């Protein structure tokens, strides 16, 4: 059956509210067809199903050939319906959009943002940057309108591989997503639900394991081989054999520099103790770590005992024996923008 009114909206974002509701963040935007009218994009931050987790991909250098950046730039602002493989429709599993195995399972649990990984800490920085820099956004999903005259777009996530009550929405070449055209780069934000399948048949129905099984070790889900694209998403330059590495950092926070953060990611299926580990800079400063990092989870590290230079530098993660587990670097240019979450690609 598929989703209704599927298409692509080219627009200018004006506001991001990452906690507009318990399940969605709202991106307010305008387009040149009527600059006095504001529209709303409903971006999922939690599933309404029994497994609340989402799968998140940030494509830090969007280079897909279908749809390509040149095709997107050629569009006029406004909403345009899309249908089929010959259009500008998205299909995560059939085109070079995301790497299935690079997806990150994230919850929205404000009471436990460090251990499980709050999706808001991923979405808020890039959405706020899109607004502040007056970037151009390309939003795929289902157009909606209400009786009060308001309108916008939702279903901004993968729309295939569903089971149960959402199976009726399955289809191919109808996935939702957001591509952001900044002045110096293109980035893509893509979401799926943990319960959706990593492989689908010609109707978009499940034909493989779920993301929960593939990324989070959910043995209750079906097993089958799944394909993946070649696109690179967030990762680290040097990853230890235990699967833990530096994924991202805020090196230049808004305001004072005492709210810098480093994000670790454990891509292994094993929970690791961080007792005795340190994260530091290339000037000898370091912060001792405590606690554990769960399998396939992110951990946020607030930096208190040293500073990350805004002139570029390195961030180094060491284990309890002092061995380098992960080392990433960033430039002065990358650190220039306040509040930007820097991702480190493989």
Rounded to an integer, the average pLDDT of 224-232 is 30
Smallest CA-to-CA distance from 200 within 161, 158, 157 is with 161
Looking at the fold, whether 184 and 319 belong to one and the same domain comes out as no
Quote the tokens at residue 156: 């901004």
Reported as half-sphere exposure (CB side, CA atoms, 13 A), residue 309 has a value of 15
pLDDT at 257: 72
Average pLDDT taken over every residue of the chain? 85
Domain count, the chain: 2
Quote the DSSP letter at residue 108.
Answer: -
Same domain, 215 and 246: no
Identify the pLDDT of residue 111: 56
Residue 259 has pLDDT above 80, yes or no: yes
pLDDT value at 102 more than 90: no
Residue 1 lies in a domain: no
Does pLDDT of 233 surpass 50? no
Task: Give the pLDDT score at 345.
Answer: 57
Assigned domain for 139 exists: yes
Cα dist from 330 to 41, 340, 342, whole Å: 32, 12, 8
Q: What is the pLDDT of residues 45-75, one digit of tens each?
A: 988 777 888 999 999 889 888 899 999 999 9
Question: What pLDDT band is residue 181 in, cutting at 50, 70 and 90?
Answer: very high
Of 231, 250, 279, the position where a domain reaches its end is: 231
Strand 151-154 relative to strand 39-44: parallel, antiparallel, unpaired? parallel
pLDDT of residue 270: 82
Q: Residue 196, SS3?
A: coil
Report for 255-259, 277-281, 299-303: range of highest mean pLDDT: 277-281
Q: Which residue has 């089929």 as its token pair?
A: 84
Q: What is the pLDDT of residue 188?
A: 95
Stretch 176-193: mean pLDDT: 95
- Percentage of residues of the chain with pLDDT beyond 90: 54
Instruction: Specify whether 161 is located in the same domain as 22.
Output: yes
* Residues 168 and 54 grouped into a single domain: yes
Tell me how crowded residue 181 is: count the other CB atoms within 10 A of its CB.
18
- Non-local (6+) Cβ contacts of 24 within 8 A are 42, 43, 44, 45, 154
- End residue of a domain, out of 231, 258, 291: 231
Q: Are residues 53 and 162 in the same domain?
A: yes
Q: What is the mean pLDDT of residues 332-341?
A: 83
Question: What pLDDT shows up at residue 66?
Answer: 85
Burial class (CB in 10 A: 0-12, 13-18, 19+), 314: middle
Residue 273 sits in the same domain as residue 288: yes
Q: Are residues 103 and 200 in the same domain?
A: yes
Residues recorded for the chain? 346
CATH number at residue 244: 2.60.40
- Taking residues 245-256, what's their average pLDDT? 86
130 and 30, same domain (yes or no): yes
Work out the average pLDDT over 263-291. 90
DSSP string, 9-67: EEEEEEEEETTSSSSEEEEEEE-TT-TT--EEEEEESS-SSSS--EEEEEESS---STT
Task: State the average pLDDT over residues 24-31.
Answer: 96
Q: Does residue 64 sit within a domain? A: yes
- Considering the domain architecture, whether residues 115 and 154 belong to the same structural domain is answered as yes
For residue 110, what pLDDT band results from cuts at 50, 70 and 90? low
Distances (CA, A) of 242 to 245, 270, 296: 9, 8, 12
pLDDT for position 133: 94
Are the CB atoms for 97 and 227 separated by under 8 Å?
no
Find all residues with CB under 8 Å of 44, minimum gap 6, and list them. Answer: 23, 24, 54, 156, 157, 191, 193
Q: Tell me, yes or no, whether 194 lies in a domain.
A: yes
- pLDDT by residue (tens digit) across 146-174? 888 899 999 999 999 998 888 999 999 99
Tell whether 48 and 147 lie within a shared domain.
yes
Please spell the DSSP secondary structure of 150-183, one letter per residue. Answer: -EEEE--S--SS--GGGGGG--SS-B-EEEEE-S
Q: Residue 31: inside a domain, yes or no?
A: yes
- The position carrying tokens 């307010």 is 28
**In terms of residue numbers, what domain contains 120?**
6-231
210 and 246 in a single domain? The answer is no
What's this model's pTM, rounded to 2 decimal places? 0.72
pLDDT digits 0-9 by tens, 191-224: 999 999 999 999 999 999 999 888 864 433 333 3
For residue 197, count other CB atoms closer than 10 A to its CB: 28
Instruction: State the Cα–Cα distance between residues 43 and 125, nearest whole angstrom.
Output: 14
| Structure confidence at residue 109 (pLDDT) | 63
Within 8 A by CB and 6+ apart from 333, the residues are: 312
- From 231, 251, 285, give the residue that closes a domain: 231
């Amino acid at each position: 059956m598929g989703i209704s009114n599927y298409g692509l909206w080219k627009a200018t974002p004006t506001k991001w509210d990452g906690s507009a509701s318990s399940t969605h963040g709202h991106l307010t935007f305008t387009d040149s067809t009527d600059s006095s009218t504001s529209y709303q994009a409903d971006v999922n931050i939690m599933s309404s199903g029994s497994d609340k987790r989402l799968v998140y991909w940030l494509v830090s250098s969007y280079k897909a050939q279908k749809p390509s950046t040149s095709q997107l730039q050629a569009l006029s602002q406004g909403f345009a319906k899309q249908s089929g493989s010959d259009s500008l429709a998205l299909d995560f599993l059939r085109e070079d959009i995301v790497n299935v195995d690079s997806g990150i399972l994230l919850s929205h649990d404000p009471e436990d943002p460090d251990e499980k990984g709050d999706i808001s800490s991923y979405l808020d920085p890039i959405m706020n940057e899109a607004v502040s820099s007056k970037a151009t956004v390309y939003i795929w999903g289902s157009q909606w309108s209400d009786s009060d005259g308001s309108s916008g777009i939702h279903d901004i996530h993968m729309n295939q591989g569903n089971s149960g009550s959402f199976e009726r929405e399955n289809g191919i070449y109808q996935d939702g997503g957001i591509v952001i055209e900044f002045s110096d780069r293109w980035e893509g934000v893509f979401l799926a639900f943990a319960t959706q399948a990593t492989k689908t048949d010609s109707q978009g129905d499940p034909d493989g394991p779920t993301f929960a099984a593939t990324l989070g070790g959910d043995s209750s889900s079906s097993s089958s081989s799944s394909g993946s694209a070649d696109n690179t998403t967030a990762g680290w330059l040097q990853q230890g054999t235990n699967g833990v590495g530096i994924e991202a950092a805020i090196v230049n926070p808004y305001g004072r520099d005492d709210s810098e953060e480093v994000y670790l990611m454990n891509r292994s299926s094993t929970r690791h103790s961080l007792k005795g580990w340190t994260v530091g800079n290339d000037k000898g400063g370091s912060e001792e770590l405590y606690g554990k990092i769960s399998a396939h989870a992110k951990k946020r590290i607030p930096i208190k005992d040293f500073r990350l230079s805004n002139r570029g530098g390195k961030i180094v993660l060491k284990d309890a024996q002092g061995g380098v587990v992960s080392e990433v670097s960033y430039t002065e240019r990358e650190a220039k923008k306040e509040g930007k979450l820097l991702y480190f690609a493989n």
